[in-house]
Structure 1
């Protein structure tokens, strides 16, 4: 069994945003030379996410609105206990929990083996600084 590891550095200038990273993951798979296996894509920060969905701007805006209803940004420490530590990003931790930490995609004949419309996204919920994403390809 072989493995290949790469890291992406993400720096989303907005507090919240979604970046399609499918192309970078596909490049890592190609570079690995692995024909049959899996790729793990993991957000290596507790206020960011990796998820799979459709690359459609209306859907992304729906996610933003939905997440803000579920865990609205509020830096007031009387609203979120976490913000009593001097942070202002308790909502970002909750948004990450909802959207997920990582995805695993099958590799078949050296390609990402997706269903229709599936793409891989990095989700940022407390942006404006560099964060890492792990790409780990495993297989033969």
Structure 2
């Protein structure tokens, strides 16, 4: 039996595998979502802190007035979904790198995905079911567009 060794400068021959490109798509998503999150977060900070009266103006009426607009609902929703997904993929990568035993890795991933699901579902519900004009709230706390 003779074994031939390829020449050092010969092209690398890839083996045919049926693997998916999940890791590649995850890598691309992390880069794209990171750039988009920078834009979303700085827009959020500018709207909340710079364009108005600063942090002292952020109260129930401010949030009610902001979330009365579908633009800001979608802005905050996209920021929530992207930040949670971006963070979850990052923590999943850390778990895969540092958890040595399969059982530990599985438990940590179940806890991670459970926390992700709870935060995304509750955050989405808060954004879409938020009532800027509750009937039993004091008038001075309500937004200016609420009926008396």
Shorter-normalised TM range = under 0.3
With CA pairs under 8 Å and 6+ residues apart, which has the higher RCO, 1 or 2? 1
Which has more radius of gyration?
A: 2
In terms of fraction of residues, the more strand-rich structure is 1
Give the TM-score taking structure 1 as reference length: 0.26
| TM-score (ref. length: structure 2) | 0.25
* Higher relative helix content: 2
